[in-house]
Amino acid sequence: MEQVFKLLHRQSEVIWNDENWFEKVEKNDVVIFDKTVWNLFPGKQYFQEEQVYLFQAKEANKTLPELTNFLTWISSKNFSRNDTIWGIGGGVTTDFAGFASSVYKRGCRLKLVPTTLLAMVDAALGGKTALNFDNVKNGIGSFYPAETIFISSSWLETLPKSEFDNGLIEMIKTSLLEKTVLYDNILISNGKVDDTMLMQTALLKMKLCEADPEDKGIRRFLNLGHTFGHVLEAACHYKISHGKCVLKGIKAAVLFSLRTRYITPEIAEKILLPLQQLKLDFVPDEKVDISANLFFQDKKADKEVNLILFNGFQSVFIYQTNKVHLLKEVLEEVLYERL
């Protein structure tokens, strides 16, 4: 099954369950492969050695010096802007491949094969590319939708549990944004993700991206749990995974929505049910010191903080506040209690 979306005057096609994506790699294309994925990949013979760029996929390598290495490498090839850069791996690899492809020769073709759940339901979809810069995660980037994204649950079989949970939490987040059967499917899934659920998540995300490709309005709903989540990530010096921080962020958004009387306790319970049922919540091993100033990402304390709150079940809205001490309080409250 495939579906074409229109993002920023480009077509971005999502193809599900095409196990033979590698047959579409052309002689002149280059393939940025996450080294760990490459080592496990059974189809190495389908590529010529000189077209594969092995990328040690970690945040510390999503940088300009690494980009320079890649650009120096690709410049030695006979690669034209009509050829394709492929990115095969998790979100770090798809962000890196996307950014490289958006700048090389002022933009060349881009195809992505996300291999982690997080990349399948979020990073590879919607055209955001990024590098880390000046100690800021995703400090530089571009909007550059991939021409094709190949999604398949077959990659998930070998994914470590912590990686899998990161994606599952983002999937649950998406199921809370608007009326969708994805929420019910997650509840009956027993923590297993199938291709139907991957498709439902992608359709929801791409719908928001199509309506707001440059993240100026309703695409921001996808940031549910992320304002609190980013604060927690920074406060624990990235020792707790992104997904787990977003989970605490969703709980904090629910508690704040409850306190401000946008939702009832019954609705709060229903929203939190998948996180509880799939036993994703946790209590941190160490105490985390949360500074209220972390809510001001650009360090300007006179600015308002944007939050995504609930005003119903599967109904969210953008809320602005500068009362960061209240945000700190709710985050601390949900941090040490397990659902």
Per CB under 6 A, residues contacting ligand GLY are 122, 126, 128, 215, 219, 222
Min dist. Cβ of residue 97 to ligand GLY (A): 16
Min dist. Cβ of residue 137 to ligand GLY (A): 12
Reduced to 3 DSSP states, what percent helix, strand and coil does the chain have, rounded to the nearest 5? 45, 20, 35
- Asked whether 295 and 278 are in contact (CB, 8 A), the reply is no
Report the alpha-carbon angle 170-176-180, nearest 5: 110
Q: How far is CA 74 from the centre of its chain?
A: 27
d(CA 118, CA 124): 9
Kindly report the three-state secondary structure assignment for every residue of 5-28: EEECCEEEEEEECCCCHHHHCCCC
d(CA 297, CA 230): 9
Specify the residue, 74 or 198, whose C-beta has the smaller distance to ligand GLY: 198
Specify the residue, 147 or 269, whose C-beta has the smaller distance to ligand GLY: 147
Specify the residue, 187 or 218, whose C-beta has the smaller distance to ligand GLY: 218
Min dist. Cβ of residue 149 to ligand GLY (A): 13
SS3 281: coil
Radius of gyration of the chain (CA): 20
Q: Which residues contact 107 (CB under 8 A, 6 or more apart)?
A: 81, 101, 144
Question: What is the number of alpha carbons within 13 Å of residue 116 lying toward its C-beta?
Answer: 29
Min dist. Cβ of residue 222 to ligand GLY (A): 4
Specify the residue, 83 or 122, whose C-beta has the smaller distance to ligand GLY: 122
Specify the residue, 30 or 245, whose C-beta has the smaller distance to ligand GLY: 245
- Asked whether 46 and 23 are in contact (CB, 8 A), the reply is yes
Min dist. Cβ of residue 13 to ligand GLY (A): 17
Min dist. Cβ of residue 163 to ligand GLY (A): 17
Specify the residue, 15 or 222, whose C-beta has the smaller distance to ligand GLY: 222
Min dist. Cβ of residue 202 to ligand GLY (A): 12
Min dist. Cβ of residue 258 to ligand GLY (A): 25
Specify the residue, 88 or 124, whose C-beta has the smaller distance to ligand GLY: 124
Specify the residue, 111 or 128, whose C-beta has the smaller distance to ligand GLY: 128
Query: What is the dihedral sign for C-alpha 326, 331, 336, 339?
Result: positive
d(CA 186, CA 204): 15
